[in-house]
Amino acid sequence: MMVWDFGWAGALLVLLALAVASVRVLREYERGVVFLLGRFWKVKGPGIVLVVPGVQQMVRVDLRLVVMDVPSQDVISRDNVSVKVNAVVYFRVVDSQKAIIHVENYFEATSQLAQTTLRSVLGKHELDDMLAEREQLNADIQQILDAQTDSWGIKVANVEIKHVDIDESMVRAIARQAEAERERRAKVIHAEGEQQASEKLLAAARVLAQSPQAMQLRYLQTLTNIAGDRTSTIVFPMPVDLMEALTKIAAERRGG
């Protein structure tokens, strides 16, 4: 009778241990990919999940957004400038079944793909584009990564280029180029100002040529400005019209 009681007690303990071992608790951001005798069965969670030991196996998958740092990559731009670029990738698992079944390690696979994509995309652009068009480059890399990781159940939410490290000699060359560009713009602006001023002077000359009275008024205004100047010597210009009038009067007197 005593042996019988110990047998029942042992069986109950075994059943209790199996029951405890079969209980899994998944958090709100976790899912469990359950396999039945090695074959995919279903995705469970969150909450309490029962897994039969020895018959079923469960793999936990975290659905939260993952921030992955892409190591610094050596990139040669389209204009043959060597730079070091690093970035950060934001992604998350949207299909737990694909993330476990279709790829061995989705984190490592996404990291390697991000590195090769970063070199490939940036190598098609010049250095100026890397420095000035980061938003567009981020969008291009994100689109390529998202398309290639879709079969893994991964959604790439965002890609940000963090640093573009340039050699010191190239930094000095860029500074010289920027200075030359500023000088070029200054000369262009000065030339445009001279052109506009000459056009205005030409238009004013045409107006004065069409109206002798306006020319006389301008002459008088010039004399007024000269009179107000504190110079010891004043040169009075003689208008051509006045010279012609005086010459005409003198000729008439000689003829008379």
Q: For the residues of 88-102, what is the DSSP string, one character each?
A: EEEEEES-HHHHHHT
CA distances from 177 to 78, 90, 109, 125 (A): 18, 36, 41, 19
pLDDT of residue 139: 93
Of 59 and 22, the structure prediction assigns the larger pLDDT to 59
pTM above 0.75, yes or no: no
Give the pLDDT confidence of 93-112 residue by residue, as tens digits. Answer: 999 999 999 999 999 999 99
What are the boundaries of each domain within the chain?
18-62, 66-166
pLDDT of residue 81: 83
* pLDDT of 253 strictly over 80: no
pLDDT of residue 219: 62
Give the pLDDT confidence of 171-185 residue by residue, as tens digits. Answer: 666 667 667 777 888
Give the pLDDT confidence of 130-148 residue by residue, as tens digits. Answer: 888 889 999 999 999 999 9
pLDDT of residue 250: 64
* pLDDT of 2 strictly over 50: no
pLDDT of residue 67: 95
To the nearest 10 degrees (0 to 180), the angle between helices 134-149 and 106-122 is 140
Q: How many residues does the chain have?
A: 256
Average pLDDT, the chain: 81
- In terms of average pLDDT, the best of 11-15, 22-26, 175-179 is 22-26
* Phi, psi angles (nearest 5°) of residue 215: -65, -40
Fold of 66-166: Tetrahydropterin Synthase; Chain A (3.30.479)
d(CA 99, CA 94): 8
* 8 A C-beta contact, residue 89 and residue 115: no
| Contacts (Cβ under 8 Å, ≥6 apart) of 94 | 63, 153, 154, 155
